[in-house]
Structure 1
């Protein structure tokens, strides 16, 4: 799917999707259980939103054992990536509480570094 401004901004218009994207950007990658904790939401809701973001081309995923990790699509258009970076920098309070919940989470899944 070609990323257009309309598709991009519709994706950002939902609070769960916006916070998920900003959290994933802040942490490089996150799994569903981490987002559930950070956003205080149930698994089906988080999974549904992640699937939408993946389908729209904003996220990519990778499987590691039982975990599926999501990260910002490295092929995202420059303009879209710059908007996410600006939001993260200028509006960091949007996810401050969520990042704190994530930092307090025990037993986060281990990650294997992906070679570029």
Structure 2
């Protein structure tokens, strides 16, 4: 009798584990999926017009403002927030890895992060 309750609790705990399934990606209320957001992040310099700026500070400010205005997926915002705290090489590697996992083939922004002074 002593093992009945713990044994039943263990079986209930283990039995529930198999019920979990991967959830399909759901877009945010404005319809932006994580794939779309990361694709935007990977092309931020071009899409924002920041690449045309000569001053590195102006380039950075324009890019950051554009990203804030256009990346709406909460998972992408979280990823961007975490990645920005890393050294440039690690930040670039994280972005490349995230892009590759999502099937985004080209990510020139990762190259820019690695090579740019800002």
What TM-score range do you get, normalising by the shorter chain?
0.3 to 0.5
When you count strand as a share of all residues, which structure comes out higher? 1
**TM-score, structure 2 length as denominator?**
0.34
Higher RCO, 1 vs 2 (CA within 8 Å, ≥6 residues apart): 1
Q: Which entry has the higher C-alpha Rg, 1 or 2?
A: 2
Q: TM-score, normalised by structure 1?
A: 0.34
More helix by share: 2
